[in-house]
Amino acid sequence: MKILITGAAGFIGYHLTQSLLLENHQITGIDNLNDYYDVSLKKARIDNIQDDNFSLEIADLANKKEIDKIFDENNFDAVVNLAAQAGVRYSLTHPEKYIESNIIGFTNILEACRHNKISNLVYASSSSVYGMNSKIPFSENDPVDHPVSLYAATKRSNELMAHTYSHLFNLPTTGLRFFTVYGPWGRPDMALFMFTKSILDQKPIQVFNNGEMIRDFTYIDDIVSGIKQSIFTPSSSNKNLDSSEIKPSTSTAPYRVFNLGNNKPVSLEDFISAIEIATNKKAIKKYLPMQPGDVKKTYANINEAKNVLNFNPETSITKGVKNFVDWYVQYYER
């Protein structure tokens, strides 16, 4: 297959690209290499991709002419949109970045897919769309009308926009709600990266909500497995679906949304303990109150992903954290 991956220099994009190249797919990556976090890490990911079936286009999703040109010059079988302005707390201070990348950029991808008759669009959503939901575990069929950050609001907007294009233009779309993805080559703004660095440096770590946070940490290899299944099994129309049977995650259009989580939430304290074991050092903890935009608990119901995508996360938090720490120590020569 000839597949376009946006955000190819990003954490998830890099791992997905490597996995698909091992199966001899032809991959075109798009990335703008912005400086939201260390650009050298993004470049190192790209430099680590050694395959003639991979090419990278430096472009910004918000630049419609650039995106249209890339689509016009290629005949993609599928598109995976992973490029986005990430980060909940950053959205409190830089809201315009999220509108530009996550709304305008996604609109340009939808339009390009529509006009180029793309047979499958898979895109990254987020567990953050569940916002103020208190019902646990989170199901794709729960209401998601009360986001608590602009980042979450843009991701929910992506789902609604995708449905519109699926309905109006018969564009097959699959939205994937990722739950706290972690692993080697991860983002420096994520807790695992920051905690590992601080613990190795014997500096205090900031533990929000006094440590009473629970996250459904999902290892990168498991996430990549779910994305690949979504690529190879596009959504389809169900015109016979009765209106009373329509749920938030399904439609008469070729549209669907899945949770991709580990289905085994871990407390922040246990997460930190796993890092302490992997680094063989004790954390110096600075307990702080809840931050704006954060949620206390995430927990994915993954029954739909299991049934349709054969999604079956296998990596324990102990193994996953150790894999990250081993990579971190080697990459940064600690």
Give the residue extent of every domain in the chain: 2-181+218-261+300-313
Tokens representing 3 are 């597949």
Please tell me whether residue 287 adopts helix, strand or coil conformation.
Answer: strand
pLDDT of residue 233: 95
Is the distance from CB of 117 to CB of 282 less than 8 angstroms? Answer: no
In this predicted structure, what is the pLDDT of residue 217? 96
Residues 6+ apart with CB under 8 A from 175: 123, 124, 125, 158, 159, 162, 256, 257, 258
Helix (H) or strand (E) holding 175: strand 173-178
How far is residue 256's CA from residue 311's CA, in Å, rounded to a whole number? Answer: 15
- Work out the number of other CB atoms within 10 angstroms of the CB of residue 49: 18
The reply to whether 151 belongs to the active site is yes
DSSP helix/strand/coil, 195: helix
Task: Please state, in angstroms and rounded to a whole number, the distance separating the CA atoms of residues 170 and 36.
Answer: 35
- Tell me, what's the pLDDT at 293? 67
Q: What pLDDT was estimated at residue 264?
A: 92
pLDDT of residue 119: 97
Domain 2-181+218-261+300-313 top-level CATH class: alpha beta
- End-to-end Cα distance, the chain: 40
pLDDT given for residue 308 in this prediction: 95
Distance CA 149, CA 30 (A): 26
Q: What is the pLDDT along the chain (334 residues), one digit of tens a residue?
A: 999 999 999 999 999 999 999 999 999 999 999 999 999 999 999 999 999 999 999 999 999 999 999 999 999 999 999 999 888 778 888 899 999 999 999 999 999 999 999 999 999 999 999 998 989 999 999 999 999 999 999 999 999 999 999 999 999 999 999 999 999 999 999 999 999 999 999 999 999 887 788 999 999 999 999 999 999 999 998 877 776 677 778 889 999 999 999 999 999 999 999 999 999 999 999 998 888 767 788 999 999 999 999 999 999 999 999 999 999 999 999 8
Phi and psi, residue 269, nearest 5°? -65, -40
DSSP code of residue 22: T
Element at 277 (helix H, strand E): helix 268-279
The predicted pLDDT at position 248 comes to 79
Give this prediction's pTM. Answer: 0.95
- 14, 37, 98, 151: the catalytic one is 151
Exposure letters 129-163 (e unless 16+ CB within 10 A, then b): bbbebeeebbbbebebeebbbbbbbbbbbbbebbb
Q: DSSP 3-state assignment of 255?
A: strand
Instruction: Specify the pLDDT at position 297.
Output: 85
